[in-house]
Amino acid sequence: MRARTPRFRVRAARRMVQAVLVVLALVAVPDGAVHPAALSVIGLADAHAVDFDEGIVWFLVLGSDAREGEEVMEGRADAIELVGLDFGTGRAVAVAVPRDTWVDLPGHGFDRINAALPLDGPALVADAVESLVGIAPDYVITSGFDGFVSMVDSIGPVTVLSRHYFRSPVSPRGVRRGLNRMDGPEALAFARARVPLTGGDFDRASNHQELMKGILRSLRAGKDGEGFLERGSYAALRGLDTDLSPVELYRLAQAVTTFRLSRVTNCVLAASPGVENGASVVYVDPALARRVGDDIRGDARLDGGCG
């Protein structure tokens, strides 16, 4: 048995690295400052019974705006994505909820949905999203972005589609319309950009989805390459906090890398502007949100749009 222990440890370490890298591909990067806490992955309700072999699994992906020196859960959830993966058909869907959506937070009254994270953690955000869309997430992934730049650099550069041209604080050429190859700092700046975009937070949420696709594309292309996992290990493993076992993470990793971008549909929930207590908010039509939930619930595919 002793002779086999080193080999087992190497395999386990490689599996953990791969799992974390793939989970990171799902994370929408928030608008904030670099923070040591990188990633939290928790299961809700009966999620631990899922084998990632067939059926639809729902992930709530949150990006915290926690500043340097703050815990990731202390920040507001400035990126909120409901992601459904159908492990039987290979389809995937992502629906972004605007961060300023005015909702009733159970036990706390009405507030912007992004305030739920510091008030009572990821589970409260999950409750609010379920009340809107009618879908209960199985897992919640919450991310700061300490280590994000080094993780992207270890697997990239990543190729990301941008629908807008805008200047970037870290790239002399800026971000052009169409495909852009981005290193870590450029990807982070792309994810944080809001003011230069005509649609503000709505366009930024769309950019988060394009960034997720770009990272997933790089992971699919490089996951079998020699040394690929080792190059990303340090960035991926820093700050991981999860109640999932290594086996569950590995099963998730193996399954997610089989998804093709051609089978991914996504959108941002439409909303109208308003003011509450002197602050700008947006209102999502409850009927629209439920229609979107009904559309994607059975097949993780968006047919009718989000507007």
User: How crowded is residue 98: how many other Cβ atoms within 10 Å of its Cβ?
Assistant: 23
**Residue bearing tokens 């089978």:** 263
Residue at 42: amino acid letter? I
CB-based contact 236:24 (threshold 8 Å): yes
pTM score, whole prediction: 0.81
CA angle 125, 31, 36 (to 5 degrees): 85
Number of residues that this document lists for the chain: 307
Containing H/E element for 95? Answer: strand 92-96
Please provide residue 295's backbone torsions phi and psi, each rounded to the nearest 5 degrees: -65, -45
The pLDDT assigned to 152 comes to: 77
What pLDDT is recorded for position 146? Answer: 63
Mean pLDDT value across residues 76-94: 92
Half-sphere exposure for 280 (CA within 13 Å, toward CB): 7
Residue appearing with tokens 């399954």: 255
Looking at the domain 2-150+202-213+220-297, which fold is it? Nucleotidyltransferase; domain 5 (3.30.420)
17-72 per-position pLDDT tens digit: 554 545 444 444 444 444 344 567 788 866 555 666 778 999 998 888 876 667 77
Residue whose tokens read 């960035």: 235
Calculate mean pLDDT across residues 186-195: 86
Average pLDDT, the chain: 80
